[in-house]
Structure 1
Amino acid sequence: MTDTPGWASPGSSEPPRDGVRPPADAPAAVPGPSAPPQATPGWGTQYGQPHHGGQTPGRGPYGWEAARSPRPGVIPLRPLSVGELLDGAVTTVRRHWRTALTLSLGIAVLDRAGAFVAQLLVRGRTGASTQLLTLLASLPLTLLLDALAVALLTIVVSRAVLGRSVTAGEAWRDARPRLLKLLGLTVLTTLLSGGVILLGFTPWLGYSAGGAGSRGTEGLLFLVGVLTVPVGLWLLIRYSLAAPALMLEKQGVVTALSRSRRLARGSWWRIFGIVLLSRLLAGIVGATLVIPFRVIGLLLGFGSVDRFGDTSQQSIGMMVLTAIAGIIASALATPFLAAVSVLVYIDQRIRREALDIELARAAGLPEQGGTGGSGPADQTTAGR
Structure 2
Amino acid sequence: MSDHDWAQPVPPPLPPGGAAPPPYVPPGATPQYPPPAYGPPTPGAWPPPAGPQAWTPPPRPGLLPLRPMGFGTLLWAPFRTLRRNPAPVFGTGLVVQLVSAVATAAVFVPLFVWVFGRVESASAADVDAILSGAVGWVILLSLVPIAISVVAGAFLQGVMVVEVASGTIGERLSFGALWRRAAARIWPLIGWTLIVGAIVGGVFALVVGAVIAVAVIFPDPATVLAVVLIAVAALLGLGVLGAWLGTKLALVPSVIVLERSGVLTAVRRSWALTNGNFWRTFGLILLVGLILSFAAQVVVQPVSFLGAILAMLLDPTVGEAYQAISIGTTVAALVLSVLIGAITSVVQAALIAVIYIDLRMRTEGLDLELERHVEARDAGRPTTDPYLPASEQGPVATWS
TM over 0.5: yes
Shorter-chain TM-score bucket reads 0.5 to 0.7
AA of the residue aligned to 1:359 = L
Q: What is the CA distance between 1:260 and its match in structure 2?
A: 0.9
Gaps in structure 2 of 5+ consecutive residues = 1-51, 117-130, 317-325, 380-400
* 2:147 maps to amino acid: P
C-alpha displacement at 1:264, in angstroms? Answer: 1.5
Counterpart selection for 2:169 from 162, 167, 179: 162
- The offset of 1:338, in angstroms, is 1.4
Question: Which residue, 338, 347, 366 being the options, matches 2:349?
Answer: 338
SS in structure 2 at match of 1:363: helix
Which of 178, 194, 210 is equivalent to 1:203?
210
Residue 251 of structure 1 aligns to a residue whose secondary structure is coil
Specify which structure has the bigger relative contact order, considering alpha-carbon pairs within 8 angstroms and separated by 6 or more residues.
Answer: 1
Question: Which residue of 1 is the match for residue 153 of structure 2?
Answer: 146
CA contact (8 A) 1:349 1:355 kept: yes
Structure 1 position 190, deviation (Å): 2.7
Q: 2:76 aligns with which of 62, 70, 87?
A: 87
Task: Name the SS for the 1:74 alignment partner.
Answer: coil
Distance 2:304 2:216 in 1: 33
- Aligned counterpart, 1:212: 219
State the TM-score, normalized to the length of structure 1: 0.66
Which of 98, 110, 114 aligns to 1:109? It is 98
Residue pairs, 1:254-333, within 5 angstroms: 254-299=264-309, 301=311, 319-333=330-344
User: What's the secondary structure of 1:184's corresponding residue?
Assistant: helix
CA distance in structure 2 between the aligned counterparts of 1:158 and 1:286, rounded to whole angstroms: 27
204-213 or 263-272: bigger deviation: 204-213
Pick one of 342, 349, 366 that aligns with 1:355: 366
CA contact (8 A) 1:194 1:232 kept: no
Q: Is the 8 A contact 1:116 1:323 kept in 2?
A: no
In the alignment, structure 1 residue 253 sits paired with structure 2 residue 242: no
Aligned-partner Cα distance in 2 for 1:167–1:290: 31
What is the deviation of 1:243?
Answer: 0.1
- For the residues of structure 2 that align with 1:249 and 1:327, how far apart are their CA atoms? 32
The one-letter code matched in structure 1 to 2:374 is A
- For 2:216 and 2:145, locate their aligned partners in 1 and report how far apart those are by CA, in whole Å: 23
Q: Where does residue 85 of structure 2 map in the other structure?
A: 96
Task: Give 2:282's aligned amino acid.
Answer: F
Give, in angstroms, the shift of residue 341 of structure 1.
Answer: 0.7
Per-residue CA distance 1:278-305 (angstroms, 9 max, x = gap): 1111112211221133135425649x99
Whole-angstrom distance in 2 between the partners of 1:281 and 1:139: 26
State the shift of 1:111 in Å.
1.7
Paired with 1:85 and 1:40, the residues of 2 have a C-alpha distance of 35
Give the superposition deviation at 1:200.
3.8
Alpha-carbon spacing, 1:41–1:182, altered in 2? closer, same or farther (3 Å): same
Change (3 A) 1:150 1:198: same
The 8 Å contact of residues 201 and 226 in structure 1, kept in 2 or not, is answered as no
8 Å Cα contact 1:114/1:138 also seen in 2: yes
Q: Determine the C-alpha separation between the residues in 1 that align with 2:331 and 2:216.
A: 32
- What is the TM-score normalised by the length of structure 2? 0.64
| Unpaired segments ≥5 residues, structure 1 | 1-38, 43-68, 306-314, 369-384
Structure possessing the higher radius of gyration over alpha carbons: 2
Aligned-pair Cα RMSD in Å = 3.6
Letter paired with 2:371: A
Evaluate the alpha carbon distance shift between residue 352 and residue 367 of structure 1 in structure 2; reply closer, same or farther with a 3 A threshold: farther
